[in-house]
Structure 1
């Protein structure tokens, strides 16, 4: 690498030339370095990008640098954006361009379809696919500090140069094995705007409801919304405003005075008199005064049939055998909820394991196992499947 490559882009003309070069490719590999330990909104500190024949670093903290040329590339739906473990990067770009980038290719998800592991780390992925070792000594860099050293910049750029090579190899393997469809839906879900929704009115959906009576629901939703607004306005992490357990306790106990708040176990003593608690008592009072205006719909009670004893365990053995046979991470085929529902005899189309390619490789066998048409046996230390005679 030359010194020029290791110098982050800080000038508008240079950024435009870099983006013009990237735009010639059908895909862009992207990574970000950011800071958010003490903030609600992630503070973007560095952007790394590569495509065939081009690679570079962008300094979003540079004075007067407008990221629009690069953000236009990220918003362009005709170009694939390649990430590793995309969720946090997607959150950043969703805020910057107003929508999650699409289409995307997440190498962590692709690794599941190639039998490389579940939630594989970037350095392990590169070692497994390219047989390269990554120097991780700069992993915990404070990316807000300037200037960044050559070693830090080299480490950062490697996040997209190795990624570019791994993507090309993994894409070829998936296509040759006919497995691109297997991961396409998983990757498309990461471009769902609902994943990155920060509308305070929907904040309660991020938490688990423990009760169903209207007063609880009203206070629960109102306080969750209040916390979201406070966190965003003060740019502080949600947990630094109020912990999830505190929201649950407030909804359950419905405190109306400072003295009542001080008696709560999950709320720090004296919190209600702090700047962070501004408006909290009034929020609780308003929710209790008009529960219908604040309470979300109560969750419907699920009347699930009893799960036959041993059925989930048998299905897990089957899933492991199937996934080993085709060299795929089991969770890509079926998760714990799928297993439980199939074990109860559910056949709904909203069970992913009973649709598409998952049904072909697992769902069909799962039904046959539960109806006695398929048997499991151990032979030479391996699980074997046997079709039962009619």
Structure 2
């Protein structure tokens, strides 16, 4: 079991500072993740936003209770200059839009990419994907924990949060190569482009509208 360390890691309160924003604006791709109080959009609030650039530098932004603005984060995530990489982007992008009005783009989702490329398996969770593509076994013991008091997050929680973004940039490259090899890259791009539509439907609480019932 390989645990993430807290090297090349910083914590910001409420938003990115100007220097960190400038650092990340120079990146071609950024890995993004969120931690929340639960999985129900609108009930369970956003507590932490993690960002990692291709050099492995991670920033965790602690979100305050009731906070509704993060202008530097919004500027970064809406910039067309960098691809934002998520694992299960639909959830994180919806949380960011619901909380801050951020229209994240462009997007790469490693879960969608995995389902299109790795059709030899039904296992597409982050832990399994990281282990296959990088050989690293993530420690997920802090996954279900209280993220609601960000000023008192434990080193284990912060290490877990860092783990969730450290490997996404590398996996994007490997998954893109697999998709191109199998002739599914354009299909993946179309899937990524539709994510904002599903996010809007989720925020408005529409479900199964494409199903015949």
Whether TM-score is above 0.5 comes out as yes
Task: Describe the SS at the equivalent of 1:8.
Answer: strand
Q: How does 1:346-385 map to 2 (within 5 A)?
A: none
Report the CA distance shift for 1:167/1:57 in structure 2 as closer, same or farther (over 3 A).
same
State the distance in 1 between where 2:69 and 2:132 align. 38
State the distance in 1 between where 2:62 and 2:113 align. 29
- Asked if residue 45 in structure 1 is aligned to residue 47 in structure 2, the reply is yes
Higher helix share: 1
What is the deviation of 1:4? 6.8
When Rg is computed on C-alpha atoms for both structures, the one with the higher figure is 1
Query: Normalization by structure 1: what TM-score?
Result: 0.46
Report the CA distance shift for 1:131/1:28 in structure 2 as closer, same or farther (over 3 A).
same
Gapped regions of structure 1 (runs ≥ 5): 209-335, 338-390
State the distance in 2 between where 1:38 and 1:79 align. 28
Query: Normalization by structure 2: what TM-score?
Result: 0.81
- Asked if residue 93 in structure 1 is aligned to residue 65 in structure 2, the reply is no
What is the deviation of 1:159? 0.4
Report the CA distance shift for 1:106/1:155 in structure 2 as closer, same or farther (over 3 A).
same
What is the deviation of 1:64? 8.6
State the distance in 2 between where 1:109 and 1:85 align. 7
State the distance in 1 between where 2:181 and 2:39 align. 42
State the distance in 1 between where 2:106 and 2:52 align. 17
What is the deviation of 1:155? 1.0
What is the deviation of 1:63? 10
Listed one character per residue, the Cα deviations across residues 181-208 of structure 1 (whole Å, up to 9, x for unaligned) are: 121122211111542342xxxx6x5489
Higher strand share: 2
- Asked if residue 184 in structure 1 is aligned to residue 189 in structure 2, the reply is yes
Of 130, 135, 138, which residue of structure 2 is paired with 1:131? 135
Of structures 1 and 2, the one scoring higher in RCO (CA 8 A, sep 6+) is: 2
Match of 1:77 in 2: 80
Of 141, 148, 151, which residue of structure 1 is paired with 2:153? 148
Q: How does 1:7-18 map to 2 (within 5 A)?
A: 7-10=10-13, 15-18=17-20
RMSD: 3.1
Gapped regions of structure 2 (runs ≥ 5): none
Q: How does 1:1-390 map to 2 (within 5 A)?
A: 1-2=5-6, 5=9, 7-10=10-13, 15-36=17-38, 40-53=42-55, 54-61=57-64, 67-98=70-101, 100-115=103-118, 117-118=121-122, 120-145=124-149, 146-192=151-197, 194-198=200-204, 206=207
